Amino acid sequence: MRQCDSGDGSLCRTVKDKVSPHLKDDNYNLTIYRNTIELTFSEPLESKVETLFANDLIITSESTRKPLSPSEYETKLKIGNPDTIVITIKTRGTDSYSIMLTGEPKYIMDKSGNIIESSGQVFYTNTITNY
C-alpha cells in the first residue's frame, strides 16, 4: 500500500501489511442455516485457496465428540464478503458443532499472504434442526 503525506506525491512511502487476520469476536454464537456456518475474520481473505480453508479447521460434532473429516464439509468465501468463510456441512442430521483452527494453519490468509495464527479459541454453533 502506498501512503502519501502530501498532495503532490513528494512525501510518499510504501507500507507493507504484515498483520495476520484473526477471527472476529462475533463468532462466539454461530448459527447454522441450511447446513452452512459462517466464520467472520478481521479482513478480506485470499480467495485463491478458499477450498483449502477446510484443512485449517477442526470441526467437531457435539453429539459424537468426534472431529469431522475435511471431506465432510466444504469451505468458500461468502459472495460479496471476502472476510467471511462459509462452511457447508455435507452430512445431514441434527447436530451442533465446535469449530477451532488447527495448531498450524497454512491456508487461511489475507490478500497480502499473512497466515492466520491459531489462538486456541473454540466457537460453538446452535443445533441443526431443518434442511
Domains of the chain (ranges; CATH) run 19-125 (2.60.40.1220)
For the question of whether the overall pTM of this predicted structure is more than 0.85, the answer is: no
Q: Nearest-5° angle of CA 94, CA 95, CA 100?
A: 155
pLDDT by residue (tens digit) across 16-25? 667 788 887 7
Distance CA 55, CA 44 (A): 19
Q: Among 4-13, 14-23, 57-66, 117-126, which is the least confidently predicted range?
A: 4-13
The Cβ of residue 37 has, within 10 Å, a number of other Cβ atoms equal to 24
CB 24 within 8 Å of CB 116: no
Residue 53 has pLDDT above 90, yes or no: yes
pLDDT by residue (tens digit) across 13-49? 666 667 788 887 776 668 788 889 999 999 999 999 9
Rounded average pLDDT over 95-112:
93
CB 60 within 8 Å of CB 89: no
CB 85 within 8 Å of CB 76: yes
